[in-house]
Amino acid sequence: MCHDRMPSLEEQDAAQKYVMFRPLVRPDTDIKKVIKYVSVFLLSVIVFFAASYVLLDRFGILSYLSETLYQFKIEHSILFPVLYFFVLLLVSFIIVARPAFIGIVHLYQHYADENVRRRCLFMPTCSEYAILAVKKYGLIVGIILTANRLFRKCKGNIYRIDYP
């Protein structure tokens, strides 16, 4: 990992050769595929919402919840279905957030200009680091590590080696 110490000349040379001369990976991306995945995700959330809502109603859980809400002087009959839908959407998003984030990084790698991608002074590059960090530490910690690298460490003109 990269600390605040000055990297050796060998490390700087290895990182510079990596950054300047490595072949740029352009992951396959397809906007139709992205639209299909997002549509399937939203459709599955809606179907799961409807099916689970019907089951909750059939077992009498909905009437119990509406009585509980009424005791707290919450009389909006639409409130529970809306809250329930957004909770399901949030839980579903948490489940697919890691592959979605990696997909966004792949979109960047595919469409970013070569001059932009070669500005990084690190081995692995910042986009490669983001994917490695999210795979190794999970979405939240991976994003924090990536943001730290992008906004705090990516300064100066010294090539460095820095793995998550």
Q: How confident is the model at residue 1 (pLDDT cuts 50, 70, 90)?
A: very low
3-state secondary structure of 122: strand
User: Smallest Cα–Cα separation from 136: which of 146, 121, 149?
Assistant: 146
Query: What would the pLDDT profile of 10-59 be if each residue is shown by its tens digit?
Result: 888 888 888 788 888 788 777 777 788 778 888 888 888 888 878 877 88
What is the pTM (predicted TM-score) of this model?
0.67
Scanning 59-161, the segments in alpha helix (DSSP H) are 61-71, 79-111, 114-117, 126-137, 139-148
Q: What pLDDT digit, counting tens, does each position of 75-123 carry?
A: 656 677 777 778 888 887 777 788 888 888 988 898 888 888 888 888 8
How many CB atoms neighbour CB 21 within 10 A?
8
